[in-house]
Each structure stands twice: as C-alpha cells, then as structure tokens.
Amino acid sequence: MGLWIDRVKCTGCGSCVRICPGDLLFLDCENKVVLREQRDCWDCMACVKSCPEGVLYTKLPYSIGDYGASIRPFIEGEFIRWVCTNKNGEREEFLLRR
C-alpha cells in the first residue's frame, strides 16, 4: 500500500508525527506533514487513524485493488468505520469495534 497526504487540507497539528511507530513523518517548513520514505512505511495506519482532518489515506496496490482503489479508516468513538472505494468510486463500508 502507499500513504497519501492531502497537503492542502493538512493543518499541521502533528498528531500523525507523534504516533508514527517508525518515526517516518515530519512537519516541513510550511507546517505540512511529509513522509520521509514511502518504502519504509509499515502500513500500520496509525497515522491515518489519528488524523483529525482525514488528510492521510492509503491507496491499495494495483495487484490488490486495481488502479485508484483506496481504503480509509474513520474513528467514531469506540468504533472504526472502514471505507473501501474502488476505481469507479463505488464505496463499501464496514463498522468494527476498536
């Protein structure tokens, strides 16, 4: 998978930087989050789950989800809503207890 960052919407709160177990994220001079090296990312999604603005997400590799497919978790109290979107924009959602 790959971590994608919507830098336009990033507020620079740093929650993702603090939670990344690999210490792979940092805030640049524009106070926007940056991933040091994509290949070093563990795909644990800790940063994605911690982002209050929802600016971090993962895209599935072509071999798994076809080009443009993504999966995003949204924290909702004691639940995580996983939203899977295919290349045509069709969505499927799963609600799991944390």
The residues spanned by each domain of the chain are: 2-97
Q: What are the tens digits of pLDDT across the range 11-67?
A: 999 999 999 999 999 999 999 999 999 889 888 889 988 999 989 987 666 556 566
Contacts of 61 (CB under 8 A, 6+ apart): 1, 2
> Do 55 and 32 contact (CB within 8 A), yes or no?
no
Reading the block at residue 32, the tokens are 């926007």
Contact between 51 and 15 under an 8 Å Cβ cutoff? The reply is yes
Q: What is the pTM of this model?
A: 0.66
Distance (Å, whole) CA 77 – CA 87? 29
Candidate CATH numbers 1.10.3720.10, 3.30.420.40, 3.40.50.150, 3.30.70.20; the one for domain 2-97: 3.30.70.20
H/E segment holding residue 64: helix 62-65
